């Protein structure tokens, strides 16, 4: 199977798209019966290799969307549901509700990010997305969010604590995301009890697992 085919398989099918009479855009997507990727991995007690295998499928799906000119802008576990196809786990990327077209209109009434509008989920948001400047974001914002997802799949937590971000207020939240250096995955695992963590620390010394 080619990367493009894997990308199609790991993306929820868009059945229809348009805009309401008031101009609110919408997508009609296939119903995906699954559970968030992080919960699935923990529930099945998957090791590092299996987690990376699912993550690679997610990467192919996002790459496929990017090649179609779509930036997701809200990549997080609850938007990546794992379902079974003939007994084989397949992650499905869903909820393109705040996605943005980069090369073409998503609907006849394309949604543009309004200045000072906070879009996305703070714990998975790139510094550029949190900046809320007049400059638009590109595909690299999704890649950053994929890095956060990988971090969580390997360590069990996001680089920045979700509760702290939500309690800090918008301005401080943006400052944390833009300026604070996250704890390295290997360091985070050393802080976790070996009895809790299923991942050998040696697997996190490779460049692939270095969070940027």
Q: Judge whether 66 and 31 are in contact, CB under 8 Å.
A: no
- If 0-12 CB within 10 Å is exposed, 13-18 middle and 19+ buried, where does residue 87 land? exposed
- What's the number of CA atoms in the CB half-sphere (13 Å) around residue 173? 21
Query: Active site includes 74?
Result: yes
- Do you know the residue count of the chain? 212
Cα(89)–Cα(80) distance, rounded to whole angstroms? 12
- Which residues lie across from 26 on neighbouring strands? 18
Cα(109)–Cα(77) distance, rounded to whole angstroms? 29
At residue 28, φ and ψ (nearest 5 deg) are -110, 115
Cα(174)–Cα(131) distance, rounded to whole angstroms? 7
Segment (H or E) for 185: helix 185-190
The catalytic residue among 16, 21, 42, 74 is 74
Q: Is 42 helix (H, G, I), strand (E, B) or coil?
A: helix
Q: Judge whether 118 and 155 are in contact, CB under 8 Å.
A: no
Please identify every residue annotated as catalytic.
74
């Amino acid at each position: 199977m080619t990367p493009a085919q894997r990308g199609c398989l790991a993306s929820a099918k868009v059945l229809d798209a348009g805009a309401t009479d008031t101009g609110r855009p919408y997508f009609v997507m296939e119903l995906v019966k699954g559970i968030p990727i992080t919960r699935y991995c923990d529930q099945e007690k998957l090791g590092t290799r299996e987690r990376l295998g699912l993550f690679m499928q997610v990467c192919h799906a996002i790459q496929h969307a990017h090649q179609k000119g779509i930036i997701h802008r809200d990549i997080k576990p609850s938007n990546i549901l794992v379902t079974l196809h003939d007994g084989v786990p397949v992650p499905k990327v869903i909820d393109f509700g705040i996605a943005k077209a980069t090369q073409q209109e998503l609907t006849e009434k394309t949604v543009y990010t309004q200045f000072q509008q906070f879009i996305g989920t703070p714990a998975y948001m790139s510094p550029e997305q949190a900046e809320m400047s007049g400059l638009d974001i590109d595909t690299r914002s999704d890649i950053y969010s994929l890095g956060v997802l990988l971090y969580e799949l390997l360590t069990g937590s996001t680089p920045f604590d979700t509760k702290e971000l939500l309690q800090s207020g918008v301005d401080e939240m943006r400052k944390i995301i833009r300026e604070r250096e996250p704890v390295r995955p290997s360091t985070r695992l050393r802080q976790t009890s070996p009895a809790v963590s299923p991942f050998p620390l040696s697997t996190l010394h490779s460049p692939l697992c270095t969070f940027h």
